[in-house]
Structure 1
Amino acid sequence: MGLEADRGEEISPAVLQSPIMTQASSTCTLHFYYNMYGEDSELSVLLKEGSRTTTLWWLAGYNGDVWHHSEVVIGRTPQDFSLLFQASGNFDKLGHVAVDDIDFTNCSLPEPQLWCSEGTFTCNNSVCVDPSRVCDFSDDCGDRSDEINCEKQGVVERCSFEQGTCSWEDSDMDTPGGEWRRRRGEEGWPDHGPPRDHTQNTAAGHYITPGTHLTEKGQTSEILSKTLLPSFNCTVRFFFFSMSDASAQLMARSRTQMSGTDDKMLWIREKTHSYSWQRAKVTFSSSVISKIAFRYELQGAQRGIVALDDVTFSKECIFDPENSKLPETSPTHSPHTSSNTPPLTTAPMNPCQDNEFFCRKSAGKVCIPATLQCDYHPDCPDGEDEAGCGPCTFENDQCLWSDASDGPAKWQRQKASNNTEPPTDHTTQTGFYMTVKLSLGSTQAEAKLLSPPLQPSSPYCQLLFHFHISPGSTGSLRVLMQQAEGGEAILWSRSHNTVSHWTSEHLPIGLFKQPSKVWFSSISKTAGASSATWDHVVAVDDISFINCETSYEPPALSSYGCTFEDGLCVWVQGAEDELDWRSASGPTETPNTGPAGDHTNGTGKYLYIESSHPSEKENKAQLMSLLLPPAGQKGYCFRFWYHMFGATVGSLRMFLKTADSLDKTLVWQQSGSKGDVWLLAQSHVTLQRVHQVILEGTVGGEAGDIAIDDISLVFGPCPDSGLCDFEEDSCNWLQTTSDDFDWIRHSGSTLNPNTGPESDHTTNTPTGHYYYLPSSMDDQAGQKALMLSPLYPESKGSCVQLWYHMYGEGMGTLNVYQQSEDGQEILIFSQAGDQGRLWRLAQASLLPRIQPYRIVVEGVKAGPTTEGDMAFDDVQLTDAQCPPHGVCDFENSFCSWTNLGDGADQGDWLLGAGASPNPNTGPTVDHTTNSSSGHYIYVDSSVGEWGDVSYLVSDVFQPSSRGHCLTFWYHMYGSHVGTLNIYVSDRKIHVGGNEEGYLKWTKTGNKGDQWLQDSVSVKHEEAFWFVFAYQKGMSTGGDVALDDITIHPSSCYTEPPVPPSTNNDVRSVGLAVGLTLLIGIIICIFLYMLNRKQKNQSTIFDNELDTPSPTQRETRGELGYDFSFFNKLYEPSPHANEDSSDA
């Protein structure tokens, strides 16, 4: 399309109009080719919106008889519009104007998306926009939602110049008359400014231009921003218009002195000729206060058209609310001559695009995507893309961590020296760290160390820092995080001192989607104005972030396992504790406690807590995993091996903790000595949130080393051990439907007070599961609830064991039956009434059978009460016979005997073999095998103080008309042997205040290096238990040992012999005996029939069960009872038949 001139006269302009177009995006660009031949030719491109016409592009004069390409950004046009090509000229001479190949690019509005990727801005119309283009006065969404609520986006300082120049101010470095001026497009065009602004994209909009009185080379025009506080990665975005050649420069500088002598070049105009508004962005950092200076400088006598519009600062830019003046210097030249240009420190020019970050410190041109800046992973060769984003060693500066304290306590950067506390930093030992300084005379103050803005993170993000709290400190250290709703959350706290100079902490932060801040808070105290010394020193150093990049994916689950042969793997020491887990190979430093070698191969490494000095009782050591992913549908099995052996072993616990909570959930624990052996612990984890596992050991005393080894994590439930612990489900046990109630699977305390367990038996925690039968005031005596086990093959099992809990004044009866497949049932265990606030072990021998069978657990109500909740847990069948009740040779375990523990005494009885580790005391062989490989139990006299007591407690025994005989072998050899006592106690005695019971036997002092036997006869009217109590002598050399204990229902003493009788006496006695037997048989038959009638009346007929209903219940002639005294005991307990008076 062209305009031809061949006559010598002036004609009216020729106009070529486009079709009506509907809206245009902010990036809409017109491309075309033009050919202008003729000296007086003119060509312009106009934007027509309704009645308003705005010039977009223009050109005049001779441009050669060739085709030229041009483009012009139309910009955001929110209404219908059309474009006009207008050509005119004085055609005294031949010439022409022509256009061709008109094209439009990027003009359609962005398309809505189903979802926006992480880190992008989501518009109200579901369009996704790069965050760097939010709140920059450019409608990139198409509905302007990216340009509203900018203060909430953190963009506070922004100026469109529509209402004035905002906080921008003139500079003293200007050439007189060179001040920047605010103009409208319609008044600036064509001599002083472009025909349209950027904000409104119309001639009515405003922008700023350099002073119009600049006429000589070197003259300048400057405009300055408001004062910035020290800021890192502060980004300035602006739009500029440039229609001039190289005779003038437009640049952006960072200024830290009023004279400009230390200016750093941030940006310089690269294109000298453009018909459109161009977008520019510059990122800089400053550790001192500064201003941004836009500077225009003439390089020749002719100036072009230059303008600025829509200047915005990112949220990383921190402005001084007081707009303080920059420091002054003394310029050596007059500011009004061409020689006054201040020397310039030129930073590397930014060769990167708007969506890229310039690695200024790295050699060569290195540009990385802007989205990689502050993403918790260094992408520049020298890592400058992550500088000031949170990590800091404080060696060079504070990395934009700032003191935000209001009171007298302040965080300050401190150089380590022999005169500082601590005397070393963590990074180099001689470098810098941040510490709290408190003015003397202040009684209490809080110091806050605030981070720079932290970018969105992954759910696995953890904050790693190193801290120091001086011994005797009266203060504390906390870590808090800004929440999205404006509040704050405490992530971590500690108030006691650190053992070493520096302690590390891996603190879970987790996922946050919006930029946030964390801060260290320390509340400190001093002794008052008269105090001459500090009593509170808190310091922080080497802050970094682990696994925080949003692209982070956790490793395979097996990667969290560890044998500790080469360190801690992905496990870290906790910092809310007093101790660290130590690595060891072979025995620990403390004798007679801890393992002799590791579990992996016996010669490798393991972790343990050292219980001897300087460790103190109740000190803790935590080992924490890095954050783990959600457990998944089937969960995973967490397994580890542990060793707990010694006279004063504390506890070992396993916790689960989510990344967004301070609370830990206890899922497993053990306390006290478990023997000199490695034991397996396992827990099925099903937590569906990002979490970590914490293993916590607690010191019980000086001989209480606890060790762990060989951690593994495997997908799915833990392997079946044959124990039904009800942790996952009901283990295929069934509720009957013909009874009155159901057993309820539960965890933690029951709802009724003064009854029921507080934790399960398996894990000994409130999160473990068991089944219980609740009580209520609506209960009636005799009402029942039954549960049936799966059907077992007739060849499986010789002994059944279960743990039960029967605590409460209104307790009913717990019955256990062996039920054959055809429904025949035999009662094998029964207990009634309050049995104390503890889990007890019940076991019974299974009768011979010729068909599959079940175990039935029946709870029978005693009547209306809220104090009758009964429970059972941990049901197991064993192929070994139930051991005799009260008999133990200690070859494999303590049998049914248990250490009292739980703080009631000062030490545990230990399982030993061979010579005692203490010289000149204790046995060298056991009694059972008379060899050094046989086992016995003993008290270690090297542990504790004179008078300390160690208790060993038996199971509970039912009263017998024949009494009971306790027989045992003991060994008391050494120069400082104390006293060994035997007590008998029952619940009434114990509740009455006599915790030990009645003394039945005592021995004191050295009895020689020999095993001695003795017996104690007991005839008690209540259910009772035996207690061995050893009271330590004055010093070491006082080991006492026990072996081969037996308890049987009879007196220990034989009856006196009967004198010889005459034949008549014999006949008389025979007749009397015969009559007695006959009467006894008649009574037995009568009692049997009566008992059978009663049993038949109580028979349960269950026609609704999918299993055979019992048709007859028989009662074993002799019932076996077996009760454990402590809930932590889990060794098989002996069982023996007693006479009918025990039933």
Structure 2
Amino acid sequence: MGLEADRGEEMSPAALQSPIMKEASSTCTLHFYFNMHGEESELKVLLKKGPRITTLWWLAGNSGDLWQHSNVVIGRVPHDFTLLFEASTNFNKPGHVAVDDIDFTNCSLPAEPQSCSGNTFMCNNSACIDPSHVCDFSDDCGDRSDEIDCEKQGVVERCNFEQGLCSWAHSDVDTPEGDWTRQAGQEGWPRHGPPRDHTDNLATGHYITPGSHLTARGQISEILSKTLLPSFNCTVRFFYFSMSDDSAQLTAKSRTLKSGVDDEMLWIRGSSHSYNWQRAKVTFSSSVISKIAFRYELGDTERGLVALDDISFSRECNFDPENSKLPETLPTSSPHTPPVTTTPMNPCQDNEFFCRRSAGKVCIPVMLQCNYHPDCPEGEDETGCGSCTFENDQCLWSDASDGPAKWQRQKASSNTEPPEDHTIQTGFYMTVNLSQGSTQTEAKLLSPQLKPSSPYCQLLFHFHISAESTGSLRVLMQQAEGGEAILWSRSHNTVSHWALAQMPIGLFQQTYKIWFSSISKATGPISSPGDHVVAVDDISFINCETTYEPPALSSYGCTFEDGLCVWVQGAEDELDWSSGSGPTETPNTGPTADHTTGTGKYLYIESSHPSEKENTAQLKSLLLPPAGENGYCFTFWYHMFGATVGSLKMLLKSADSSNKILVWQQSGSQGDEWLLVQSHVTLQRVHQVILEATVGGEAGDIAIDDISFIHGPCPDSDLCDFEEGSCSWQQEASDDFDWIRKWGSTLNPNTGPESDHTTNTPKGHYYYLPSSMEDQAGQKALMSSPLYSESKGSCLQLWYHMYGKGMGTLNVYQQSLDGKEVLIFSQTGDQGRLWRFAQAELLPRIQPYRIVVEGVKTGPTLEGDMAFDDVHLTDAQCPPHGFCDFESSFCSWSNLGGRVDQGDWLLGAGASPNPNTGPTVDHTTNSSNGHYIYVDSSVGEWGDTSYLVSDVFQPSSRGHCLTFWYHMYGSHIGTLNVYINDRKMHAGGNEEGYLKWTKAGNSGDQWLQDSVYIKHEEAFWFVFVYERGKSIGGDVALDDITIQPSSCYSEPSVFPSNNSNALYAGLAVGLMLLIGITISIFLFMLNRKWKSRNTLTITNNEVPREISMFDMSDHTQHVSKDP
């Protein structure tokens, strides 16, 4: 609904009236959005009860041409009523007023439950309310039964200011003519007070406002209660109104001396931008007589709308019938105690702070107050400055909630949730019960004003979210200029009573506030009050003083032998890192010892129950200084072994940003060994390092150990995974295109990888050559490695991805310093939708050399994106193509990964952790020290599959023989299959291919050999697939796999002995020997021919067509080429 400036008469109001509404509860709240543009626009919300109209909310002026949310507490209305939106604007000027999305919350009267719990008050209408709301001038029952017979309830001191000030009196420390004044809403509004009181919710009702003659900053208006005798856990409840009063302070204090010099701060106003009466309460104890002082101190701007109403004291408050005066000074000491000099007035200068609790006259510079560091002997200069255990009071933390759910100080007991506080187990904490609110109201706990902080400032606190709670907890920052930002949030319950959270605040050069915010996630009414509790305790600030300097970078390292050092658990996640030594609890996963000493400790995540898939655990450093000109090398060791390992990430987070930078990532099983990560960090901002592990399944323990920081770049590595950049690989300038560093999927559909090979995730990096319809056949992109010394490297290994109907050619060259090149690897055409392994022997050299990767295009196409990743230069000889004994790695075999199968093949040694299944020794060495690969049958369900994929083999006229040793022992062995696949089948979605061999069931505790002969007309690869049996006891293992370009020969059969059979046997043996000799001669001649071709020189960077495809089943072919 809207009002336009070109429709109507000048300043003519327009009214929008609601239907007749039934009575409303004391918490009934109206929500709406408004858009008000124009200098002379005005919008009101009015309450109409019969002929009487009361203003509830009012706003005037230009609020910007945007939609803004507002809410107004309607309050208790015991009969029918209507609401009106009244808008006006100057119709001679451009502008409009509009409202939308009107909604109501918490308007129903309390429902009648089946019974009330022992700690609630039962109303006459059988509704149940919190006993702290009895006799507080708010009709919470709905029948006013909680507001009658208050003296019988023990509430004797309360005042609604309808008949006067009751026992409240003016203060001696007021600014002259600064006394609080009793006013009615229709008199005080709009200049001095709100348009209605709280008691009757009417414009004719009364409240009190600060003195109207306050004109200068620092002028004071105070009002004092009746004198209280010594009391324990006395609670003061009151309602306050605060609007457009940012710079002033409204506080409640406990006063024990007439001068007020020793006042104890109980409460300080939070938000000053609410057009509502807000309820507050404070609880305190005093061993001497005291008074409550409400104090208003004017700030830099003119006073806004400020008022108090309906002040009441709980039954625990004992009042002095004589209302005696407070003493001038503190009581003198007894003869049995040393005398303590007390000074009634502040003995320090104006620019000094008086350490009043410290013995003697101690004055410190006022700038040291609230500087995050105690400078007084007793630390009183940091009282009320943010840090708080809540053992004595709230330390100026105050409730600023919009709805009925309020933060309050709670003493721990067996009847509270949680039953212990964090500080001393029997002390106090702050808590909010969200069952007292609605799904749309926010409970806020607001800090006092905080001083400027250092770039390394961090907030620490302990929190609790009950097990069945629908509540969430957030930490937000409110800056002096009005902005706000979410620092931290959590929406799931805490496993233990208390969890620690630590988060960066960073540099602030102006004052600021933070607040804890809790709101229910429930979509409907909350039925169980005790299960929706959120609590906070032990708030502190570290490294926040503006003079703080961080320690040496090396001090942030940790071996985890004696705890977490300066690292902390993340609190936004579901899991914590655990300290471990020896094997983890779950078999077939995790390390068996730490990395540091082999007998020490490490950190790990437990992936089995109660952990769930996708649960995360974070480990965070303290805030670190900018990395500096040369950066620093961050190193750690990790262990990722198991059938269902998730992922491990290294992230960086700046103190001044909520965004995290992914630096390194790994996923899936990496073998039963500790592996090193080195990351060169160059971030020039204050930041922290985060290590985050994610559960992949019940056999997915992930461990870390031995974190260290070293100034400068990391040592050179023989492996480049492109996660942190190009590793000094460079684009060639003489080619047609550049290789592009990429993460995630390439832009063209039906081609390119979806993730990198290193991490097997969309966040990992690789280099790729994109295809387009502007491509021309023969166009190239070249990328060269750093220069290697002639003595370095014997074998080059890399992974490549060539999927797409328009795929070109990938060439790899060894280029000497003088520019001469030798082709050491080449592959052409579609190789399927997966990463492929390639290796090549490096030729002997007398000069430094480079590795050059060349992509050659076939012509215009959108299905020719090729990529490469994980380039590794090793000093060891390349293992024979097609052979793997699994002693050190998977060789060229790989787990399929992705969403195709449900588990991985694992590298194992010795006996399986699962009883009565699997091998006890490998086949290669026949010892428990040798290695094999296996599938863990204790993980997953019946029928789950695990894929193991070979690299690509080119067709051969002789065919290929796959020979392997397998072990299938156990009571629940499933099925082991061998398939061959090619790019046509794979492109059609067939991940397995043609079945060539199968075996099922128990074959005994022994290694068995078998062979499969393949003669395929296209490039192909082998796939081992194991289908899990019914239960545990079905481990299957493989070892010593060989793939050769030949037939599979078997031993001759043994027949019964007779002359003819012997003759036939002799002929057969002779024939076999003759064939063997013939083949040897043929291979010798072929080898001589190959050596002669190896000296062939090719000019103009061209490769002869007849050698553009290489049979990777034979020896790698090398072609030399002049520059």
TM-score (normalised: structure 2): 0.67
**Secondary structure in 2 matching 1:780:** coil
Q: Distance in 1 between matches of 2:569 and 2:862?
A: 46
Q: Distance in 1 between matches of 2:525 and 2:869?
A: 62
Match of 1:882 in 2: 878
- 1:1058-1137 map, 5 Å: 1099-1100=1099-1100, 1120=1110, 1136=1115
Relative distance call for 1:431 and 1:319 in structure 2 (3 A) is farther
Match of 2:625 in 1: 629
Contact 1:526–1:536, Cα closer than 8 Å, also in 2: no
Match of 1:797 in 2: 793
- 1:487-566 map, 5 Å: 487-524=483-520, 531-566=527-562
Q: Distance in 2 between matches of 1:318 and 1:578?
A: 47
Structure 1 residue 375 corresponds to structure 2 residue 371: yes
Amino acid in the other structure paired with 1:818: Q
Contact 1:905–1:951, Cα closer than 8 Å, also in 2: yes
Match of 1:212 in 2: none
Q: What do residues 540-593 of structure 1 show as CA deviations (whole Å, max 9, x unaligned)?
A: 222111211111111111011000111100100011111111112222222232
How big is the shift at 1:428? Answer: 1.9
Q: Distance in 1 between matches of 2:526 and 2:854?
A: 74
Contact 2:258–2:327, Cα closer than 8 Å, also in 1: no
**Secondary structure in 2 matching 1:1002:** strand
Amino acid in the other structure paired with 1:226: P
**Secondary structure in 2 matching 1:393:** coil
Amino acid in the other structure paired with 1:257: S
Q: Distance in 2 between matches of 1:174 and 1:562?
A: 59
Match of 2:306 among 321, 343, 347: 321
Match of 1:121 in 2: none
Match of 1:957 among 953, 959, 983: 953
Contact 1:467–1:502, Cα closer than 8 Å, also in 2: yes
Match of 1:717 in 2: 713
Match of 2:572 among 573, 576, 580: 576
Relative distance call for 1:1002 and 1:508 in structure 2 (3 A) is same
Contact 2:439–2:519, Cα closer than 8 Å, also in 1: no
Amino acid in the other structure paired with 2:306: P
Contact 1:775–1:868, Cα closer than 8 Å, also in 2: yes
Q: Distance in 1 between matches of 2:609 and 2:177?
A: 77
- 1:634-783 map, 5 Å: 634-725=630-721, 733-744=729-740, 755-757=751-753, 761=757, 770-783=766-779
Match of 2:30 in 1: none
Amino acid in the other structure paired with 1:965: C
Cα RMSD, aligned residues only: 4.3
Contact 1:442–1:529, Cα closer than 8 Å, also in 2: yes
Mean CA deviation greater in 988-997 or 725-734? 725-734
Contact 2:390–2:428, Cα closer than 8 Å, also in 1: yes
Match of 1:620 among 609, 616, 623: 616
Structure 1 residue 447 corresponds to structure 2 residue 447: no
Amino acid in the other structure paired with 1:449: L
Structure 1 residue 226 corresponds to structure 2 residue 210: yes
Q: What do residues 505-528 of structure 1 show as CA deviations (whole Å, max 9, x unaligned)?
A: 101111122111111111115686
How big is the shift at 1:603? Answer: 1.0
How big is the shift at 1:754? Answer: 5.5
Q: Distance in 2 between matches of 1:650 and 1:584?
A: 19
- 1:76-225 map, 5 Å: none
How big is the shift at 1:935? Answer: 1.7
How big is the shift at 1:475? Answer: 2.7
Relative distance call for 1:872 and 1:257 in structure 2 (3 A) is same
Match of 2:423 in 1: 427
- Number of aligned pairs? 829
Amino acid in the other structure paired with 1:631: A
Contact 2:758–2:764, Cα closer than 8 Å, also in 1: yes
Relative distance call for 1:1119 and 1:549 in structure 2 (3 A) is same
Contact 2:577–2:619, Cα closer than 8 Å, also in 1: yes
Amino acid in the other structure paired with 2:373: H
**Secondary structure in 1 matching 2:381:** helix
**Structure 1 residues without counterparts, runs of 5 or longer:** 1-169, 183-223, 229-234, 239-251, 269-281, 291-310, 335-339, 1061-1065, 1101-1109, 1123-1133
How big is the shift at 1:531? Answer: 2.7
Q: Distance in 1 between matches of 2:454 and 2:673?
A: 42
Mean CA deviation greater in 421-430 or 602-611? 421-430
Q: What do residues 785-842 of structure 1 show as CA deviations (whole Å, max 9, x unaligned)?
A: 3334455444443222233333444332221223345544332222223444544332
Contact 2:950–2:1023, Cα closer than 8 Å, also in 1: yes
Contact 1:667–1:768, Cα closer than 8 Å, also in 2: no
Q: Distance in 1 between matches of 2:368 and 2:875?
A: 64
- 1:25-36 map, 5 Å: none
Q: Distance in 1 between matches of 2:404 and 2:310?
A: 26
Match of 1:1006 among 997, 1002, 1017: 1002
Match of 2:839 in 1: 843
How big is the shift at 1:737? Answer: 3.9
Contact 1:826–1:1114, Cα closer than 8 Å, also in 2: no
**Secondary structure in 1 matching 2:307:** coil
Q: What do residues 904-933 of structure 1 show as CA deviations (whole Å, max 9, x unaligned)?
A: 333322222222223332222221122222
Match of 2:225 in 1: 257
Q: Distance in 2 between matches of 1:174 and 1:533?
A: 42
Seq. identity, %: 73
Q: Distance in 1 between matches of 2:783 and 2:439?
A: 65
How big is the shift at 1:471? Answer: 2.2
Match of 1:471 in 2: 467
Specify the structure having the higher radius of gyration (Cα): 1
Q: Distance in 2 between matches of 1:559 and 1:1135?
A: 54
Q: Distance in 2 between matches of 1:172 and 1:450?
A: 29
Relative distance call for 1:360 and 1:633 in structure 2 (3 A) is same
Match of 2:82 in 1: none
How big is the shift at 1:948? Answer: 3.0
Contact 1:916–1:922, Cα closer than 8 Å, also in 2: yes
How big is the shift at 1:618? Answer: 1.9
Contact 2:619–2:691, Cα closer than 8 Å, also in 1: yes
Match of 1:1051 in 2: 1047
Match of 2:266 among 287, 291, 294: 287
Q: Distance in 2 between matches of 1:1033 and 1:639?
A: 41
Q: Distance in 2 between matches of 1:315 and 1:515?
A: 15
Q: Distance in 2 between matches of 1:1033 and 1:287?
A: 68
How big is the shift at 1:1117? Answer: 6.3
Match of 2:433 in 1: 437
Match of 1:358 in 2: 354
**Secondary structure in 1 matching 2:977:** strand
**Secondary structure in 2 matching 1:988:** helix
Contact 2:965–2:1038, Cα closer than 8 Å, also in 1: yes
Contact 1:888–1:1044, Cα closer than 8 Å, also in 2: yes
How big is the shift at 1:602? Answer: 0.7
Match of 1:992 in 2: 988
Q: Distance in 2 between matches of 1:179 and 1:866?
A: 81
**Secondary structure in 1 matching 2:408:** strand
Relative distance call for 1:808 and 1:922 in structure 2 (3 A) is closer
How big is the shift at 1:673? Answer: 1.8
Relative distance call for 1:174 and 1:518 in structure 2 (3 A) is closer
Contact 2:644–2:669, Cα closer than 8 Å, also in 1: yes
Structure 1 residue 831 corresponds to structure 2 residue 827: yes
Match of 1:968 among 961, 964, 967: 964
**Secondary structure in 1 matching 2:1024:** strand
TM-score (normalised: structure 1): 0.66
Relative distance call for 1:1030 and 1:733 in structure 2 (3 A) is closer
Q: Distance in 1 between matches of 2:1005 and 2:311?
A: 90
Amino acid in the other structure paired with 2:915: P
